[in-house]
Amino acid sequence: MNIATSNKDIAKASSALIDPFGRAVTYIRVSVTDRCDFRCVYCMSEDMHFLPKSDLLTLEELDRLCAAFVAKGTRKIRVTGGEPLVRRGIMTLFRSLSRHLGSGALDELTVTTNGSQLARFAGELADCGIRRINVSLDTLDPDKFRKITRWGDLSKVLAGIDAAQAAGLDVKLNAVALAGVNEDEFVPMIEWAHGRGIDLTFIEVMPLGEIEGQRADQYLPLNKVRAGLMDRFTLQDSDYRTGGPARYVTLKETGGRLGFITPLTHNFCESCNRVRITCTGTLYMCLGQEDAADLRGPLRASETDGPLNDAIERAILRKPKGHDFIIDRTTRLPAVGRHMSVTGG
């Protein structure tokens, strides 16, 4: 064995982030803004109060924070929001982060978006080394899309998907399953996506933050969805993984992949390899828990990364075994008080 390679591997192992349950944290989801140009009914209230811009990390600080995680073994970074592409100057962050792809320190840099700005940015994202993106799309019906997003224009999202594919980006669609809203569209959505070579993932609604409606009324368990799809498709189990929580099947009739993210009916915590960082530098070790660590303080306290690294390492040692998501009809309160737009997707 090459001695230089051996020493490099030892150094990498010694800097890796390992939680109390032996899981290596190799994937971070970084929110760059809590703002969004949509107001999806399951995600946030229509009259949202967003953070003052002075509370947000600068793009340079976000870059430094990501670099600290990369140095500690992070292999995948997903940039999220709110809607990340509405952040002013966001492409400077993508261009800077792409250096970790060039060095081989990072396997993947990707983004989750609502698609509203994709027609504008798809080419630049591809130029930064991004190869795969997630687009949130819950319906193909323009009127229904407007009702779900309150402010959204479906035609702009579809144009963004066109632009992304034209730029060579692999697109994956995420659709939140909403009882009585889009459950009659699952088959046509699958056929539309697979007809374009796009994977589709269904997600159970998550009890994060207070909204005008009740998530108990929105909640549609995906075991029910899967059972219904078996009347139309042959679902074949797949070993395909993207590093996230989705579990995939291949549809014999279309040849495409279909994913299921099931935080309520069957949680995905046993193999969790990820943490989330908010646009204010707050580190959440679990999406479904309130415990968090401040990284903005140590980031700004020193020009060296020593205090920041210490804060990260201490936080990972508090990473819980799993989340406590439940949709409670009795209290009618969310399991977690913060909105998804605060934490990031």
How would you list the strands of the sheet with 247-251, edge to edge?
Answer: 235-237, 247-251, 257-261, 199-204, 170-177, 132-136, 108-113, 76-80, 27-31, 274-277, 282-284, 292-294
Query: Is residue 52 predicted with pLDDT exceeding 80?
Result: yes
Lowest mean pLDDT among 17-26, 242-251, 296-305: 242-251
Averaged pLDDT of the chain: 87
pLDDT digits (tens, 9 = 90+) for 187-211: 999 999 999 999 999 998 876 545 4
Report pLDDT for 329.
45
Report pLDDT for 215.
55
Name the band, by pLDDT with cuts 50, 70 and 90, for residue 323: low
Report pLDDT for 24.
95
Name the band, by pLDDT with cuts 50, 70 and 90, for residue 46: confident
CATH class label, 19-343: alpha beta
Query: Is residue 280 predicted with pLDDT exceeding 70?
Result: yes
Model confidence, pTM: 0.86
C-alpha–C-alpha distance, residues 342 and 81, integer Å: 7
Could you list the beta-strand ranges (E) of the chain: 27-31, 76-80, 108-113, 132-136, 170-177, 199-204, 235-237, 247-251, 257-261, 274-277, 282-284, 292-294
Q: Which residue has the higher pLDDT, 115 or 45?
A: 115
Report pLDDT for 217.
73
Query: Is residue 335 predicted with pLDDT exceeding 50?
Result: no
3-state secondary structure 128-164: CCCCEEEEECCCCCHHHHHHHHCCCCHHHHHHHHHHH
Report pLDDT for 216.
64
Report pLDDT for 58.
97
Mean pLDDT across 311-339: 67
CA angle 63, 66, 68 (to 5 degrees): 110
Report pLDDT for 211.
43
Report pLDDT for 53.
85
The torsion angles phi and psi of 151, rounded to 5 degrees, stand at -115, -5
Lowest mean pLDDT among 22-26, 94-98, 178-182, 326-330: 326-330
Pairing of strands 257-261, 108-113: unpaired
Name the band, by pLDDT with cuts 50, 70 and 90, for residue 266: low
Report pLDDT for 16.
87
Query: Is residue 344 predicted with pLDDT exceeding 90?
Result: no
Give me the percent of the chain exceeding a pLDDT of 90.
70
Place of tokens 């840099």: 109
Lowest mean pLDDT among 47-51, 130-134, 139-143, 310-314: 47-51
Report pLDDT for 264.
63
pLDDT digits (tens, 9 = 90+) for 115-149: 999 999 999 999 999 999 999 999 999 999 999 99
Could you list the beta-strand ranges (E) of 108-240: 108-113, 132-136, 170-177, 199-204, 235-237
C-alpha–C-alpha distance, residues 78 and 268, integer Å: 18
Report pLDDT for 299.
97
Domain range list for the chain? 19-343
Report pLDDT for 41.
85
